Chain A
Amino acid sequence: MAKERKAFSNLMKAIERGEFVYTGELEPHRSIDLSDVKDWATTLKNTGKIVAANVTDNPRSDSAISSLVAAYLIQRDVGLETIYQLRTADRNRLALLSDILGAAALGLKNILALTGDHTKIGTTPAAKPVFDLDGTQLVALIHSLVYEGKDLDGNEIHGPKPEINVGVAGNPNMDPLEAEVLKLERKAEVGADFVQTQVVFDVEIARKYLRAVEHIGIPVLIGIFPPRSYGQASFFDKYVPGVTVPKEFIEAFKKFNEIEDKARRKEKINEYNVEYFVNFIKEVKKEKACAGIHIMAVGYPDVIGPIIEGVEK
């Protein structure tokens, strides 16, 4: 069902070699100073296990520096491959094409094609939302540029074709799951190379999803977010739409919260995260569709290395 697929990026090449891959997440702010983001990128790179990292594009419709520019600067200065997130919420098909070609000219090899949150929920609610294309149509546009050297109106691009792999977002928490599976079939049909999912805590939900999309033949990276505190854990439980956090997980964090000694509390939380997510990953790794893990926790280096090592042990 999936379309012609070549591996251009380190990420896709590793997946094609059959490696179990890890990606991380970088969130540049509404600022021209990228130093903290680069620091985090360096930490991710130094794990030696993270093959690439997403660079978010106006996440939650909070305005931020251009993700194209940030993705380029991080890749250049840190030497970690980036996955440039591009949302259709803010750009029409002309602007998208300009940015895709721009990304390819700058040597970016991955784009995550997103529709994006509605502008009304972010920092700039009075903005005119664009949504000229949706995420799926953006995949089609990128695929057409990469393989046909044409946009969706048939306008040819001059010179070499861009070499870009295109990822999409998946939502294992979607109810009914059938709607999500058919949607992913649609995205694969028009040329999606890989999927990164929303945060999942419950291994059963991840497993169900992976089995349901296996027939599509598209590599899936399951999204995880080891929380640093009880506050973060319950935030996911209560406020992140659609994300279910298992009861025992929340209960455990509630207990840690009662530990007075900060260092001790931190140690306990780290231990629990490592154990929980090592087991989680070992389970999802057994599924054929699972090509890797997308670690979304930003600025929590203590557990990333140990989780990955724990899985490999």
Chain B
Amino acid sequence: MIITREKPIEEILSYIEPYKKILVVGCDGCVQPPRGLREAEKLASMIEMAKKAKGQEVEVAATTVTRQCCIEGLRNQLKVDGYDALVSMACGIGVQVLTMVFPELPTFPAQNTVFIGYEEKREGNMYEACVACGDCMLGYTGGICPVARCAKGLMNGPCGGCVDGKCEVEVEIRDWKGEVVEVVKNDCAWYLIFNRLKQIGRLDLYRMYRPPKNWALATGPRRL
């Protein structure tokens, strides 16, 4: 899933300052935490209240689509007549596809797209685990990604910064407002890889030398 964090309401308001009829578009796709109709409605009423408090005339509506990353789906599902700006609740892809499908309207992001990750449980902690490098090496690393989960993205780790199984780099855990709630040391990805490969009797995979990665495969913009 793609993990996003809400932008501060002041930032969203600054984008839509000049517009009077606004449609907030949710996304029922993979974006997490949920950014569907309920969340779109909530943002719509916040915008409306804030604008009205400033004495500005405004009409804000909310809707949602199956997923904002499909051009055809958006064409079939979304009607934007009568609006003069769109606010997307989806990831950075959603914002761009809305821009492509409705070039006559400006589309603004309501989210910061943070990472591709997984969650502990509903509304639990979320963890980054893949950066879409284009050449998946999980088969050599015991199913644990060193590109996304090692702070240095090393191919032949661990580095000297691994102490007691923890990484030298501290990580800020942020809440949904982006505020730092805790600073922690993550598990060293290579420590996990070593233990996993040992567990499955494949330390040969740990021992092997992995040549430099082909970053050309991760150099965008990519197409399929």
Q: Does chain A bind chain B? A: yes
Determine if A117 and B161 form an interchain contact, defined as CB atoms under 8 angstroms apart.
Answer: yes
Q: Smallest Cβ distance from A245 to chain B, in angstroms?
A: 15
Q: Please report the C-alpha to C-alpha distance between residue A213 and residue B220 in the assembled complex, in whole angstroms.
A: 42
**A134-B157 contact in complex given A140-B209, A152-B211, C-beta closer than 8 Å:** yes
Residues of B within 8 A of A174 (CB): 158, 162
B168 x A137 contact (CB < 8 A): no
Segment touching B, from A183-191, A246-254, A263-271, A276-284? A183-191
Q: Are B154 and A131 in contact (CB under 8 A)?
A: yes
Q: How far is the CA of A176 from the CA of B153 in the complex (A)?
A: 21
B202 shortest CB reach to chain A, Å = 12
Interface residue tally for chain A (C-beta within 8 Å):
32
The answer to whether B215 touches A132, judged by C-beta atoms less than 8 angstroms apart, is yes
Interface string of B159-195 (1 = CB under 8 A from A): 1111110001110000000000000000000110010
Contact assessment for B212 and A186 in the assembled complex, using a CB-CB cutoff below 8 Å? no
Quote the shortest CB–CB distance from B224 to chain A (angstroms): 25
A134 contacts which of B156, B162, B163, B194 (Cβ < 8 Å)?
Answer: B156
Q: Give the distance to chain B from A117, nearest Cβ to Cβ, in Å.
A: 7
B152 adjacent to chain A (CB < 8 Å): yes
What's the Cα separation between A140 and B159 when bound, in Å?
Answer: 16
Asked whether, in the complex, the Cβ of B203 is within 8 Å of the Cβ of A182, the reply is: yes
**Contact pick for B212, options A89, A117, A137, A176, CB 8 Å:** A137
Closest to B153 in A: A131
Given the contacts A179-B194, A242-B163, A137 and B207 also touching, CB distance less than 8 Å? no
Contact A137 B206 (CB under 8 A): no
Given contacts A121-B169, A241-B161, A241-B163, contact A134 B209 (CB under 8 A): no
Q: Which of A102-148 contact B (CB under 8 A)?
A: 115, 117-118, 120-121, 129, 131-137, 140
A242 to B158, CA, bound (A): 14
Complex contact B156–A183 (CB within 8 A): yes
Give the complex CA separation of A117 and B168 in angstroms. 8
- In the complex, are the beta carbons of B161 and A118 less than 8 A apart? yes
Q: What are 14 A-B contacts defined by CB distance under 8 Å?
A: A115-B152, A117-B168, A118-B161, A121-B168, A121-B170, A134-B152, A152-B212, A176-B194, A179-B158, A182-B207, A185-B207, A189-B209, A198-B160, A241-B161
Q: A134-B157, A175-B164, A241-B168 are in contact. List 14 more A-B contacts (CB 8 A).
A: A115-B154, A117-B161, A121-B169, A131-B152, A133-B212, A136-B155, A136-B156, A136-B209, A137-B211, A182-B206, A182-B207, A185-B207, A189-B209, A241-B163
Residues of A within 8 A of B (CB): 89, 93, 115, 117-118, 120-121, 129, 131-137, 140, 152, 169, 171, 174-176, 179, 182-183, 185-186, 189-190, 198, 241-242
